[in-house]
Amino acid sequence: MGDSKKESNGWISAAMTAAVADLPSPLGQLGVALSDAELRESAYEIFVAACRATGSKPLTYTPQSERTIERSTSLPPSLQRSLTSAAASKMKKALGIRSPSNKGIPGNASSKKPVSAGELMRVQMGISEQLDARIRRGLLRIAAANLGKRMESMVLPLELLQQFKSSDFPDQQEYIRWQTRNLKVLDAGLLRHPYLPLGKSDAASQKLRQILHEASKTPIETGKNSEAMQVLRNAAMSLAYRSFNGFGSDTCHWADGFPLNLYLYQMLLEACFNNSSEEASIIDEIDEVLELIKKTWVFLGINEMFHNLCFAWILFHRFVTTGQVETDLLIAADKQLTEVAKDAKATQDPTYSKYLKSILSSIMSWTEKRLLAYHDMFSSSNIESMQIIVSLGVTGAKIPVEDISNGYRRRRKEETDVACSRIDAYIRSSLRTAFAQKMEHIASSRRPSRKQSTPVLCILAQEIGNLASKEQEMFSPILKKWHPLAAGVAVATLHSCYGNELKQFISSVTELTPDVVQVLRAADKLEKQLVNIAVEDSVDSDDGGKSLIREMPPYEAESAIANLVRAWIRTRADRLKEWVDRNLQQEVWIPRATKESYAPSSVEVLRIIDETLDAYFRLPIPMHPALLPDLLIGLDRNLQHYASKAKAGCGSRNNFMPTLPALTRCEVGSKLWKKKDKSQNLTKRRSQVGSTNGDGSLSLSQLCVRINSLYHIRKELENLEKKIKTCLRNTESAQADVLNGMRTSFELSLAACQEGILQVCETIAYKVVFHDLSHILWDALFVGETAASRIHPFLKELDPTLEMVSSTVHNRVRYRVITALMKASFDGFLLVLLAGGPSRGFSRQDSHIIEDDFKSLKDLYLADGDGLPEELVEKAAREVNNVLPLFRTDTETLIERFKQMVVETNDSAAKSKYPLPPNPGHWSPTEPNTVLHVLCHRNDDAATKFLKKTYNLPKKL
């Protein structure tokens, strides 16, 4: 029997051996050291016996003269059936197996292939002719010894042991191996995996165990008259014919215990496959072979359900262990598993459920290992097999097996879409794995020694975009068969994975850099791509893809960029404010500092703003127009702050305007031209900040420099606005309609500069008139005798001031300063006339002197046509011109006019008593207060008596 050693004959290749390790058997352990070759030999014995036992009559004795070892005469009709054409295979058609078109006709003498199904089965199972002959010879002997008994009612290994001696084998070792195999089969079928459970104290099982133990040390004598054989037979037959009720049974059970029967049946089903890579995956004669194999069901306790389950496993196992290249096998396994699903719904057999669960677990463990990381497992070269593997996994997951392992299916109260949920899990798992691999690859490829110009997340965004495209083109069309939103789930998963990395990145960012902006723009581009894929994929879905979109919360990359830009703007604005505060504390405001007589700080602050604008428009961001208002607000406020600080130390007109003294009447006949105590002068408020003068106020030249500085800023703001508009037009996101309505001006700064210029102009004017020239205006003008104290000294002192202003202040602001000086001097002139106190008294004859002096004052500003415009001077002089006629009016008329005005403005006033009129804040001939002040300074008895009688006004303060 040396030929039996050649049973491998290409049966198990190295690739097959390696694959088996990755796919352990789901049938469990036999507990007996039976190799595949031994199981195959035992399975073939059962196969031949089953085929001989299927005739219409019990197995009968054949005379010795008719017995031969030739196959042509010893095989029963069922084994001698001729093989049919491959094209006629119903089984292959049902399994979706493609038959080769160039296949020759089976049975042709030139094909050198078996001419019968039985002979094909022998060859497929790797059984040698010698072994086959011995098996058939043994079955003939058994038939002769058991006339009238059917083969399935006998313990075949026991009968074979009794029919052969060592002389029937080529050598003693071969015989011992043969005997050991049969004893191990008895051990497995009657003790390890009996059809009916054994009791703990079963005598027959204990006896059989003892015999098998002794036989493992010393071969037993198996002759008919052997005592050991008789003991073995008694114990084995006792165990084989047990029944559930404890009585004897007519049915023999020795090979139908689980999982021994499944292991044996698996060996038979393996014969359905070709072992040569040049042949089709499944033999063309599978219909005839399976018809013969099914004859073993009565021996092995197999039914249609177990056959379907085992065949599904064998088809799948065969695909895996032969290199995973025969997709026909995978298709067949998937179709067969569909039949298994039907069986599972129709039975509650616990044994079937147990092995169904185990086989499904093994199949799905293998499929899920690949599908949960399908990006690693499949490419364009093997994408066809992916679709079948997915179908297999989904079919397996749909089979309603309770408590199936690895969480393939969880029972829920409501019915769930198993296929959709499994595909969902595959997609999410595989893409998370692919994403992690991309991350790791990018990180490992960026060595510290290399100078990398592109941030990691930018490269990752590009890779994920490519991955999403590959998913959409290659995998999603396959997965969409089971999941309508396959591509959408994929991009939602990638969106989440990248979003987590982006979130961590943003949380670590402290300032806006080109790299940060580059990452955020790459993220924004990736997100748009992923969302577009999701939207396209969900056009026909019930909710229009809303559930998927909810899974993709926006990266808000633009928002993140905007926040960083705003932070950048705040930082620049804060630094600029600190600079303004620091530098204005050191600013001296002297004309010599610059050629144009404006402060260096004004030049510097504009330079900083210009550089800030340049830096802003250099930022690689897509939303320059959108965020520009934030920047302009910050810069505008800082310039406003500069303007406010620049005018803050200058004071205002109110700081220099004297308060009106209390009313007094003129002392008629006194020597008014004699100067009184200077304590009678009006109190002046001179509380100034930052002054360089000893009296607490800024010098005139310093005030002029401040005006120049504010004007310089205001003028340069126009250039900055033009620059901003030009920069905006050059940005990528510029849109004409947006730019037209956009604020590009420095409104606060312009207003602050304008207000500051006006305020400083007024400050200069009232400082000069009421502070610097007060010793002339207030202490000398019209004091005592009017004709002896006229306006000329005041004009003489005022003229150089005008020249200094003209030479210092910018020509576009010069007229404003001079105009303010004119208005202040007119105010001062009128104040001297109406509120000059008891040291001043005017008669009607003095009116022409007053008018002449006021004309001289106006002429100073007209400067023979080289000064201010005449209409501007006349407009400013209107208030004085309106009041001067009162000084020509006689006293009685003034008194009557005054009384009438008081009565008209105060209905409750009695004719005998007139209340003092309120001060309206301006001088006017129609105001009783103005007329009263003229009367107080009228140098005649009528005015003095009226004031004494009506208001009891004193002659002195």
d(CA 651, CA 656): 9
Q: Count Cβ atoms within 10 A of the Cβ of residue 761 and give its class: 0-12 exposed, 13-18 middle, 19 or more buried.
A: buried
Question: Which tens digit of pLDDT belongs to each residue from 865-890?
Answer: 999 999 999 999 999 999 999 999 99
Quote the tokens at residue 357: 């669960």
Task: Round to whole Å and give the CA distance between 679 and 515.
Answer: 74
Least confident among 52-56, 500-504, 693-697 = 693-697
How would you label 321-354 residue by residue, b for 16+ Cβ within 10 Å and e otherwise?
Answer: bbebebbbbbbbbbbbbbbbbebbeeeeeeebee
Identify any residues that bridge with 840 across adjacent strands, giving them in sequence order: 784
Weakest-pLDDT range from 60-64, 243-247, 730-734: 60-64
- Residue 9 has phi, psi (to 5 degrees) of 45, 45
Both structure tokens of 19: 């694959």
Dist. CA 586–CA 690, nearest whole Å: 11
How many whole angstroms separate alpha carbon 96 and alpha carbon 392?
Answer: 14
Spans of all domains in the chain:
34-81+111-302, 428-555, 773-951
In the structure encoding, which two tokens stand for residue 723, read together?
A: 């620059």
Buried-state track 80-108, b at ≥16 Cβ within 10 A, e below 16: bbebbebeebebbeebebebeeeeeebee
pLDDT digits (tens, 9 = 90+) for 721-772: 999 988 888 876 656 555 555 667 889 999 999 999 999 999 999 999 999 9
179-237 residue pLDDT tens: 999 999 999 999 999 998 888 778 888 899 999 988 888 888 877 778 888 989 999 99
777 or 97, higher pLDDT: 777
SS3 of 892-917: the string is HHHHHHHHHHHHHHCCCCCCCCCCCC
* pLDDT score, position 681: 42
Angstrom CA distances, 528 to 439, 693, 859, stand at 21, 67, 76
More confident residue, 517 or 769: 769
Mean pLDDT of the chain: 83
Tell me how far apart the alpha carbons of residues 414 and 416 are, in angstroms, rounded to a whole number. 6
Q: Which of 247, 11, 243, 206 is closest to 124 using CA atoms?
A: 11
Q: What is the pLDDT of residue 64?
A: 38
Least confident of 3-12, 637-646, 797-806: 3-12
Q: How far apart are CA 337 and CA 315, in angstroms?
A: 10
Taking the C-alpha atoms of residue 407 and residue 861, their distance in angstroms, rounded to an integer, is: 101
Residue 911 — φ and ψ, nearest 5°? Answer: -65, -25
Q: How far apart are CA 606 and CA 576, in angstroms?
A: 10
pLDDT band at 435 (very low <50, low <70, confident <90, very high): very high
pLDDT of residue 743: 67
What per-residue confidence (pLDDT) applies to 140?
92
Quick check: 413 pLDDT over 90?
no
Structure tokens at 637: 């406020």
pLDDT at 280: 56
- Among the residue ranges 114-118, 496-500, 835-839, the one predicted with the least confidence is 114-118
pLDDT at 385: 87
Q: Within 13 Å and on the Cβ side, how many CA atoms surround 524?
A: 16
- Given a contact cutoff of 8 angstroms between Cβ atoms, the answer to whether 820 and 762 are in contact is yes
**How far is residue 561 CA from its own chain's centroid?**
14
Overall pTM > 0.75: no
Query: Measured between alpha carbons, how far apart are the two ends of the chain, in Å?
Result: 153
The neighbouring-strand residues paired with 273 are 282
CATH 3.40.50 fits 773-951, yes or no: no
Residue with tokens 């029967």: 261
> Among 274, 275, 258, 164, which Cα is nearest to 220's?
164
**Contact present, 224 and 244 (Cβ < 8 Å):** no
Q: How many angstroms separate the Cα of 671 from the Cα of each of 294, 668, 838, 840?
A: 153, 9, 11, 10
- The closest alpha carbon to 157, from 41, 243, 303, 297, belongs to 41
Cα-Cα-Cα-Cα torsion 853, 855, 856, 857, nearest 10 degrees, comes to: 90
pLDDT tens-place string over residues 684-707:
333 322 333 434 467 899 999 999
**pLDDT over 60 (residue 680):** no
> Does the pLDDT value for residue 449 go beyond 80?
no
Residue type for 601, please?
S
- Does pLDDT of 84 surpass 70? no
Q: What is the pLDDT of residues 184-196, one digit of tens each?
A: 999 999 999 999 8
What residues does 282 pair with on adjacent strands? 273
